[in-house]
Chain A
């Protein structure tokens, strides 16, 4: 059974650009959630999608957005990149939504903003 797949694994962008990250969940999982990890702030919840609907959103500016497709794959987008957006972005899939199911994480996408 394939795990959670995130692409790309590494990317470098410059300030002001935008970036799109992709996450394919475990087959059969309908919930995808996104987290940002930085050395200073730890692991912070971005948002969760379940059956193509955003269920929950963390405390991030509107530059951070996401969506989920009918096959449960999810993308997150960050527009007008800032230096502080440099981070490891982790995606997790789960059978249930809203913190009720076990989370399984992908390997992450490491974003560097110059």
Chain B
């Protein structure tokens, strides 16, 4: 099946700093999503981004499908950004349709 790797696995930032999270996938995909898992476990949708670039406030994402990676940018980080960030890829055909990456655990310290 498709492999999805995220880097870095752990990240500690000072409040106000910027960061880039990366998601690499091993095969072509039909779509890609970024999620933020809050402390209670819920996955919050950040971006649905099969290709191209999107921005939402301090967050933006870019997916380069032909090169099989996606980037999530967090600018001016806040303590509320802490948590685990997952990317998930979807593809038609095959046994498993949606595969999650291993996640990046972000801690923003004041």
Measured in the bound complex, the distance between the Cα atoms of B91 and A45 in whole Å is 14
> Do residues B42 and A107 form an inter-chain contact, with CB atoms below 8 A?
yes
A103 partner residues in chain B, CB cutoff 8 A? 33, 45, 88, 98
Number of interface residues of A (CB under 8 A): 28
The answer to whether A45 and B99 have CB atoms under 8 Å apart is yes
- The docked-state distance in angstroms from the alpha carbon of A100 to that of B30 is 7
Q: Give residues of chain B (91-108) contacting chain A, Cβ–Cβ below 8 Å.
A: 91-92, 95-100, 102-103
Q: Mark A90-112, 1 if CB is under 8 A from B, else 0.
A: 10100001111111111110100
Majority secondary structure, A binding face = strand
Chain B residues within an 8 Å CB radius of A44: 100
> Number of A-B pairs whose CB atoms are under 8 Å?
65
CB-CB contacts below 8 Å: B64-110 with A: 86, 88-92, 95-100, 102-103
Q: Determine whether B19 belongs to the interface, using a CB cutoff of 8 Å to chain A.
A: no
Beta-carbon contact of B33 and A58 below 8 Å: no
Q: Is A98 a contact partner of B102 (Cβ separation < 8 A)?
A: no
CA distance A99 to B41 in the complex (A): 22
Within 8 A of B (CB), among A46-101: 48, 55-58, 88, 90, 92, 97-101
User: Can you report 14 residue pairs joining A to B where beta carbons are below 8 Å apart?
Assistant: A42-B100, A45-B100, A48-B97, A55-B97, A56-B97, A90-B41, A92-B43, A98-B90, A100-B30, A100-B90, A101-B90, A104-B45, A105-B43, A108-B41
